[in-house]
Amino acid sequence: MKEKRELTCIGCPMGCQITVVLKDGLVTDVSGNTCKIGDTYAREEVTNPRRTVTSILKVVDGELPVVSVKTGETVPKDRIFAVMEEINSISVEAPVSIGQVLIENVADTGVSVVATREIKKV
Amino acid sequence: MIRKSLVIIGGGPAGMAAALGAVENGLAPDEILILERDKRLGGILNQCIHNGFGLHTFKEELTGPEYAARYEAQIKAKKISYKLGTMVMSIRDGEEKEIIAMNGQEGILEIYAKAVILAMGCRERPRGALNIPGYRPAGIFSAGTAQYYVNMEGKLPGKEVVILGSGDIGLIMAHRMTLEGAKVKAVAELMPYSGGLKRNIVQCLQDFDIPLLLSHTVVDIHGKERVEGVTIAKVDEKSAPIPGTEKYYSCDTLLLSCGLIPENELSLGCGITLSPVTGGPVVNESLETNIPGVFACGNVLHVHDLVDFVSGEAKEAGERSAEYVRNLSAPEAEEGIPVLAENGVRYTVPATIRTQHMKESQTIRFRVGKEYRGVKVCVYLDNTLLRSIPKRTMAPGEMEKVVLLKKDLADRNVKSIRITVEE
């Protein structure tokens, strides 16, 4: 069975309109994207949608009470809230350096949560 | 008293990129001073913890704090001086530019500079400017204020949220507050289209089934001590609420994401001409305002969608300011050729081009007034069509650009450059 799906690429803020053609659940054509990211996004979005999660994590004795974090890679879309739950369940001690791994294998996704800001100890 | 070649007002993405641009073009780092009112460099990027920054500048996807940290590292590596917690009170033009600033440690500072770059950014349109009736209970925040509470202080401003306006910060906060456990009931947008980026509609609203109500607005706010709910109604083509379409949404929080306004009180104070369309200074090809030696870049000039473009524009302003300092004694350049925004194009930056000062290629950035599909952007030199660029889609929420080459204008006595949208 042939199916056509219209997507808006979230690979970057350009937001290209992409058309994906699927045949029996397999991607046969991707068009409308202007770069490789769009092609990858479109193929993944129709089969196994994934997102980067960005949030904050509690810090003890830091210049700010929280440190901004992100998942080092994308996680399955249906695991976003599981990832959030784990991020919200822990706190770390300052100092925190940018890029520091704060949680490994978050919510069994195989992906790490890393700090996106430096937090000095006060 | 402090004397510098270049003073940059604002240490956000624009101010930092401008400083680096000036150094790259030959200005000594110790001849530059950045004045920043916050406790840290980075400006609004500090609270924009989401990703999507840097794809153009660094060819990788970064979050706001990471993008800011990369620039801050360069500022420190080049030993460009900056003062934090320092508020600029006034700028005055004269033989030199006089900048009055103050901070808690040094008191009032009198600073003299040959050139000034305005990089103060923008602020959010507040409730007072929106004419929404109702009481003034707690629980009404601009989306950016809520973003600060959530991302910098770790505090959730409410549990049941309605958002008025679909600007990017509003969409991003719909996403953020949902992740943090709040229920976002709806995003109401007065216009028939969203003012935000398409990717944000997808990953902030559609991913979480948050309804986007186009051509809707908040007509009443309920609650006396704390917001208890809002009434949302559909609007007609003239943005007037249609009687009978009112619907009540119970909520404890209303976020406003109704547009950004370049922050130009300092500019007005020193006699800089502002564009009534952008709210930012009217600039020439060098991003120089009507006051020679005062340049503008970033969101204080016109509100951008992408920080990458802010950085690019600001770098250029920095380079041009270095040239200005170097050639201070050079004679005044010729009058610029006006760049006219016509037929669907709302404004252009720059608004004039002096061919003598033009680089090999000149980017002209602009926004359109409504959504378009399958149209062309046309560039005319007087009445002669120079270039026509096909566009699949264009929207007011997305900044567009065309590039003009120096050779396009060579040997032609051009009186005006016109940018238009055509079928």
How far B291 CA lies from chain A's nearest CA (Å)? 34
Would the CB atoms of B66 and A65 count as touching at under 8 Å?
no
Mutate to test the interface with B, among A5, A6, A9, A10 (most CBs of B within 10 A): A10
pLDDT in tens, A26-45: 899 999 998 898 999 899 99
In a 10 Å sphere around its CB, with 0-12 CB exposed, 13-18 middle and 19+ buried, how is residue B291 labelled? middle
* Euclidean distance between CA atoms B322 and B71, whole angstroms: 19
Count of C-beta atoms within a 10 Å radius of residue B295: 31
Which domains, ranges and CATH numbers included, belong to chain B?
A: 1-124+260-330 (3.50.50.60), 126-258 (3.50.50.60), 333-423 (2.60.40)
Cβ-based neighbours of B83, under 8 Å, separated by 6 or more: B33, B34, B35, B36, B101, B103, B109
As its CATH architecture, domain A54-115 has: Roll (3.10)
Q: Inform me whether the C-beta atom of residue A121 falls under 8 Å from chain B C-beta atoms.
A: no
* Euclidean distance between CA atoms B384 and B387, whole angstroms: 9
Q: Inform me whether the C-beta atom of residue B399 falls under 8 Å from chain A C-beta atoms.
A: no
Q: Inform me whether the C-beta atom of residue A70 falls under 8 Å from chain B C-beta atoms.
A: yes
Rounded to the nearest 5°, which phi and psi values hold at B228? -110, -20
pLDDT given at position B333: 64
Name which of A7, A54, A81 is nearest B50 (Cβ-Cβ).
Answer: A54
pLDDT at B141 over 80: yes
Instruction: For A54, name the nearest residue in chain B, comparing CA atoms only.
Output: B50
Q: Which two tokens stand for residue A117?
A: 């800001």
pLDDT at B290 over 80: yes
Contacts of A13 in chain B (CB under 8 A): 52, 55, 197, 199, 305-306
Q: Which of B14, B257, B256, B260 is nearest to B123 (CA)?
A: B260
pLDDT at B325 over 70: yes
* Euclidean distance between CA atoms A101 and B329, whole angstroms: 54
pTM: predicted TM-score of the whole model, two decimal places:
0.93
* Euclidean distance between CA atoms B333 and A4, whole angstroms: 57
Count Cβ–Cβ pairs < 8 Å, chain A vs chain B.
84
What's the pLDDT band for A13 if we cut at 50, 70, 90? low
Q: Inform me whether the C-beta atom of residue B394 falls under 8 Å from chain A C-beta atoms.
A: no
Q: Which of B14, B20, B61 is nearest to B42 (CA)?
A: B14
What's the pLDDT band for B288 if we cut at 50, 70, 90? very high
Would the CB atoms of B66 and A51 count as touching at under 8 Å?
no
- Quote ipTM for the complex: 0.89
How far B179 CA lies from chain A's nearest CA (Å)? 7
Q: Which two tokens stand for residue B405?
A: 């080459």
Domain boundaries, chain A: 2-47, 54-115
How far A23 CA lies from chain B's nearest CA (Å)? 24
Q: Inform me whether the C-beta atom of residue A60 falls under 8 Å from chain B C-beta atoms.
A: no
How far A59 CA lies from chain B's nearest CA (Å)? 10
Q: Inform me whether the C-beta atom of residue B371 falls under 8 Å from chain A C-beta atoms.
A: no
Pairing relation of β-strands A66-71 and A54-60? antiparallel
Would the CB atoms of A55 and B180 count as touching at under 8 Å?
yes
Mutate to test the interface with B, among A68, A81, A96, A111 (most CBs of B within 10 A): A68
Name which of A10, A12, A68 is nearest B151 (Cβ-Cβ).
Answer: A68
Pairing relation of β-strands B260-262 and B337-341? unpaired
Contacts of B393 in chain A (CB under 8 A): 17
What's the pLDDT band for B367 if we cut at 50, 70, 90? very high
pLDDT in tens, B97-126: 999 999 999 999 999 999 999 999 999 998
Mean pLDDT on A58-71: 97
- The DSSP output letter for A62 is B
Name which of A10, A98, A118 is nearest B202 (Cβ-Cβ).
Answer: A10
* Euclidean distance between CA atoms B86 and B107, whole angstroms: 9
* Euclidean distance between CA atoms B371 and B137, whole angstroms: 36
pLDDT given at position B411: 76
